[in-house]
Chain A
Amino acid sequence: MSDRPGFGADRVWQSGSPGLGAPAGTEWEMVVGLEVHAELLTATKLFSASPNAFGGQPNTHIDPVCLGLPGTLPVLNRRAVELAIRVGLALGAEVRPSIFARKNYYYPDMPKNYQISQYDRPINTGGSLELPSGKVVGIVRAHLEEDTGKSTHVGGAGRIDDAAWSLVDYNRAGVPLLEIVSHPDLRSAAEAREYVTELRATLLAVGASDGKMEEGSLRVDANVSVRPRGSAELGTRCEVKNVNSLRSLGRALEHEARRQIDLLSSGQRVAQETRHWNEDTGRTSLLRSKEEATDYRYFPEPDLVPLVPEPALIERIRADLPLLPRQRRHRLAAAAGQSPARVALLVERGQDDLALAAVEAGATPESVLKHLEQHLADGAGALTAAGLAGLIAMEQRGELSSNQSKAVLAEMVRSGGSPSEVAQRAGFEAVAAGELAGVLERIIAEHPAEWQRLCTGDERERKKMQGFFTGQVMRATKGQANGRDVAALLEDRAGTSADSAPG
């Protein structure tokens, strides 16, 4: 492989060498489906009453059920069910009668030797997530399951494969998880990051999860395959695990897609397997081949009865849902006459209510969006919608220059107040039109040659001299003149001069 183009937003991969599998110059696309595990914001675990809390000394949030002690029985957490339904409804899923299942495997972070999960009858099926770009990603399911404990590998330089022994902390064992599985609808690393960002925002909006990837309360596994662009068939996929941040997700997908393209381009095949992302080396490595895939022997969990959410409960939860990020984008977009993608940043920052109120107060939408986007990245502080609308009105009446306007906005963010008060306190008195004309006459008198060039010069010359006179007026008024007023005045005065010039 010689051809390794950079990682652009809309990249096209090409095979650099003719391979047996794909002709040279084949354009590839990646196909990605994500499994997102979100820890639910409950007070207690999914099946027992020990606390669901991050941190704490190891093995201090433990009880007989989450330790899998003999004779204990799980009892389902009502709040976890409600949060799962909230997420399901937010994703437009169908909330259905469901059962729990045992997923059997031996690993020390699961003391029962099985994980209680949902398998063939999950609580939420179907649904979709609309991204800020407008792309709609299909959701397969969102099901409840318990989290595992946390093992630390000791000795053997900390690497899993040659650890001398492992230490296990069961604080996390039994914490409620919602596993949200997408269709393989994502086509780039950027799109995958956008999906996780939007899903996280949705989880936060409905209060289901705190979405902290750095604390592991939001975890992502990626199913990745590649195919020649335009092909309708799916390639053989690999599952990539251990992706712990949005940045890792992007890097891991780029790397894994590249690896698969290199294999296919050189006439080899992609083997279906589970791969481990290593953040330090920037590579994925084989964790389990298909032949080694765990045989989980799912069967219905006999200790838990079916979960059949009452329609009344579902409707109560539906009525209680807040506006979702998608709805907020569409709401502001409609009010501002813009696309949802254009207003996504303000929704992400939580400044859409402010923008909406300013627009409703009569401010020009484009000005509102521009001010918020460009000047309020660090938050709107004490700024009110009325204040912002007032500021924009003052600008449009020519009462503030653009520098003054910026200063007034900054002050309103700091300590509130109305724009006229703030402008007055700062000594920003707009230069009255009559006064401005006087200033200009004086400057013309001082620079007759330049004025002549402005009135009679060619296009380029006129532009240059307009700049000169604008600068002079600004200096004379200490920057308090409004640029647009000066331009209009210059044009007006130059026209008069030309008219009155001797024929």
Chain B
Amino acid sequence: MAERISRDEVAHVAWLARLQLSAAELERFTPQLGDVLDHAADVAALNLDDVAATSHPYPVTNVLRDDVVGPVLDRDEVLAQAPSSEDGQFRVPPVRGESP
């Protein structure tokens, strides 16, 4: 049986999560992720036509708050904990391209 997920796919998923995996780690995690997908496939094999899709385990809906302004954080205190700041703003490394 073909592997459920390839080494390249694992490397791609790791990159999406900004995880740097060594070659040895890729070897180890690829079958592990495959096992997780095998388990999902077991569930997918069941006939669940009569079961509504579940997005949340709790029978709770409509948790809302009123639109009332609350306290804000102190900027200086926040920026003092940032790796770098300038002119009241967070200073970050340059990013290529714009926000998706």
Q: Which 5 A-B pairs have the closest CB atoms?
A: A49-B70, A79-B67, A167-B89, A300-B55, A78-B64
Interchain Cβ contacts under 8 Å between A and B, 13 examples: A48-B70, A51-B72, A59-B89, A62-B72, A78-B66, A107-B95, A151-B92, A161-B96, A165-B91, A241-B98, A288-B97, A295-B16, A307-B62
Beta-carbon contact of A167 and B61 below 8 Å: no
Interface pick from B20-28, B30-38, B73-81: B73-81
Known: A107-B95, A287-B97. A57 touches B65 (CB 8 A): no
In which size bucket is the chain A interface?
35 or more
| B99 and A107 form a contact (CB under 8 A) | yes
Interface centre among B63, B65, B67, B87 (most CB of A within 10 A): B67
Distance of A241 Cα from B66 Cα, bound (Å): 34
| Total residues of chain B contacting the partner, CB 8 A | 38
A99-B55, A106-B18, A297-B16 are contacts. A76–B65 as well, Cβ < 8 Å? yes
Q: Would you call A156 and B69 a contact (CB within 8 A)?
A: no
Q: Is the CB of B97 within 8 A of A75?
A: no
Within the assembled complex, what's the spacing in Å between the Cα atoms of A146 and B71? 19
Query: For B62, B79, B93, which residue has the most chain A Cβ atoms within 10 angstroms?
Result: B62
List residues of A whose CB falls within 8 A of some B CB: 42-44, 48-51, 57-64, 67, 75-81, 97, 99, 104-110, 121, 148, 151-153, 155-156, 160-170, 241-242, 276, 287-288, 294-297, 300, 302, 304-310
Residue of A nearest to B84 (CB): A165
A165 touches B94 (CB 8 A): yes
- In chain A, what residue has the closest Cβ to B86? A167
Interface residues, chain B, CB within 8 Å of chain A?
A: 12, 16, 18, 55-56, 58, 60-73, 75, 78-79, 86-100
Q: A44-B68, A51-B72, A59-B75 known; A160 and B18 CB under 8 Å?
A: no
Least CB distance, A318 to chain B, in whole angstroms: 18
Task: Compute how far the CA of A419 lies from the CA of B68 in the bound complex, rounded to whole angstroms.
Answer: 50
Point out the residues of chain B lying under 8 angstroms from A151, CB to CB: 92, 95, 99
Q: Majority SS of interface residues in chain A?
A: loop
CB distance from B86 to the nearest CB of A (A): 6
Task: Report the separation of the CA atoms of residues A297 and B48 in the bound assembly, to the nearest whole angstrom.
Answer: 24
B92: which A residues are within 8 A, CB to CB? Answer: 108, 151, 165-168
**Given A59-B79, A104-B16, A109-B99, CB of A167 within 8 Å of CB of B62:** no
A81 in contact with B64 (CB, 8 Å): yes
CA distance A305 to B55 in the complex (A): 9
Chain B contacts for A79, CB-based, 8 A = 66-67
| Residue in A closest to B55 when the chains form the complex, CB atoms | A300
A305 CB contacts on chain B under 8 angstroms: 56, 58, 60-63
Q: Which one, B63, B72, B86, B87, contacts A75 given CB within 8 A?
A: B63
Complexed CA–CA distance, A76 and B92 (Å): 29
A58-B62 in contact given A78-B67, A300-B55 (Cβ < 8 Å): no
In the bound complex, CA of A106 to CA of B96 (Å): 11
A76 and B64 within 8 A (CB):
yes
